[in-house]
Copies of this chain bind each other. A is one copy, B any other.
Amino acid sequence: MIDKLDARLISLLDAEPRLGVLECSRRLGVARGTVQARLDRLVARGVVRGFGPDIDPAALGYGVTAFVTLQIRQVGGHDTVIGRLAAIPEMLEVHTITGGGDMLCRVVARTNADLQRVIDLIVGVEGVVRTSTVIALASPVPYRTLPLVQAVPAESGPAES
């Protein structure tokens, strides 16, 4: 699925995203064309979605992060609810889930008081029956995917497929 060179390339780009193809080839000790081809392949296969700017909500004034579990009225379909939720700028992420709740959302707010406003927005969405909120106090492990990338290359020998 991905080999050591790919992993090294991704790790390198993760550490110093501003690096160009040429510089990468120098650091990795391979030809420029190889790096170019690898990158193209990774993007084409969807492994690398892109290189979008990584925005820090806290730096924008949204220092409070919370996870809100929703229960949805069964009739009426989830789609409209999702649409309404997506219209809330503070709504950073929505997942449909198993278990007691129906959806798990990540939201941000400027303050705890502001979080109340955001939650009210959510509760106000037609079809939302109940919400349950937990506030993230700290994020000791911020979102990351590198360990995954670096762990995969267990396939060293003659891999099958």
Could you say which residues of chain B place their CB within 8 Å of the CB of A145?
55, 57, 92
List which A134-156 residues lie within 8 A (CB) of chain B: 134-152
A96 in the interface (beta carbon within 8 A): yes
Copies of this chain held together in the complex:
2
Q: Are B135 and A14 in contact (CB under 8 A)?
A: no
Label chain A's interface by main secondary structure: mixed
A138 and B97 CA atoms in complex are apart in Å by 7
A62, chain B: closest CB distance, angstroms: 6
Task: Number of A interface residues at 8 Å Cβ cutoff, please give it.
Answer: 69
A35 in the interface (beta carbon within 8 A): no
Could you say which residues of chain B place their CB within 8 Å of the CB of A106?
143
A146, chain B: closest CB distance, angstroms: 8
